[in-house]
């Protein structure tokens, strides 16, 4: 893995090329999920966005995840990227991602540089249409998770995702159903669903 600045420079260029989109998403899609092409996403879908945030640790790129608190909802306890629903006061979805990240993990949005975006992902259980943004911050931030929403912040060195053994199939609970799903399994943590689909697209972009 190259040093942090070189990695960000290369990734910025790669994000300008056509995105792998559907093919990358399908590889990590739950067997219970129906694929929704853009023209099949419900008109009622709620616009949302997330932030795939890189920061340096020992000059290596580290990606930021959150684990949601347990609550009475479809995404309870799951690992995700910081983000949320578009609000009327947001100028655009990029601002939504930055605002939500500030609220959820305490980063300074003014310190984040957005270098591109990934393919939108529709999440049927919550009816969110999510626009992922990729950004970086030039230092290791001191995260301040919102205890009402976030159980913990998880920082993972990007090179860990490049190991073949991190791609596995695990059994997870989805509501009242148990599913065997493709996922990233790292440090005994399961990253699956829409988050793994976005992550897989990012990894394909990096490696092509």
CATH of residue 72: 3.90.79.10
**198 located within any domain:** yes
Question: How many angstroms separate the most distant Cα atoms in the chain?
Answer: 45
- CA angle at 201 for the pair 197 and 207, rounded to the nearest 5°: 140
Asked whether the beta carbons of 97 and 113 are under 8 A apart, the reply is no
**117 located within any domain:** yes
**171 located within any domain:** no
Which H or E element spans position 173? strand 167-174
Tell me how far apart the alpha carbons of residues 169 and 137 are, in angstroms, rounded to a whole number.
32
**114 located within any domain:** yes
- One digit per residue, the tens of pLDDT, for the chain of length 208 reads 569 999 999 999 999 999 999 999 999 998 878 777 777 899 999 999 999 999 999 999 999 999 998 766 555 678 999 999 999 999 999 999 999 999 999 999 999 999 999 999 999 888 999 999 999 999 999 999 999 999 999 999 998 998 989 999 999 987 778 889 999 999 889 999 999 999 999 999 998 8
Question: For the chain, what is the domain count?
Answer: 1
- pTM of the full predicted structure? 0.94
**102 located within any domain:** yes
**182 located within any domain:** no
58 lies in which domain range? 4-163+194-207
**45 located within any domain:** yes
**101 located within any domain:** yes
């Amino acid at each position: 893995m190259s040093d942090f600045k070189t990695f960000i420079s290369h990734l910025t260029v790669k994000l300008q090329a056509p995105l792998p989109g559907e093919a990358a998403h399908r590889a990590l899609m739950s067997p219970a999920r129906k694929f929704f092409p853009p023209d099949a996403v419900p008109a009622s879908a709620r616009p949302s966005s997330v932030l795939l945030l890189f920061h340096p640790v020992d000059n290596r790129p580290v990606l930021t995840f959150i684990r949601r608190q347990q609550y009475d909802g479809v995404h309870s306890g799951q690992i995700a990227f910081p983000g949320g629903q578009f609000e009327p006061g947001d100028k655009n979805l990029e601002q939504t991602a930055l605002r939500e990240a500030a609220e959820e993990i305490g980063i300074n949005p003014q310190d984040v540089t957005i270098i591109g975006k990934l393919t939108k992902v529709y999440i049927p259980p919550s009816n969110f249409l999510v626009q992922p943004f990729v950004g970086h911050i030039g230092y290791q931030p001191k995260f301040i998770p919102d205890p009402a929403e976030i159980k913990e912040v998880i920082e993972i060195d990007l090179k860990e995702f490049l190991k073949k053994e991190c791609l596995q199939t695990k059994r997870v609970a989805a509501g009242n159903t148990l599913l065997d799903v493709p996922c990233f399994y790292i440090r005994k943590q399961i990253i699956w669903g829409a988050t793994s689909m976005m992550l897989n697209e990012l990894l394909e972009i990096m490696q092509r």
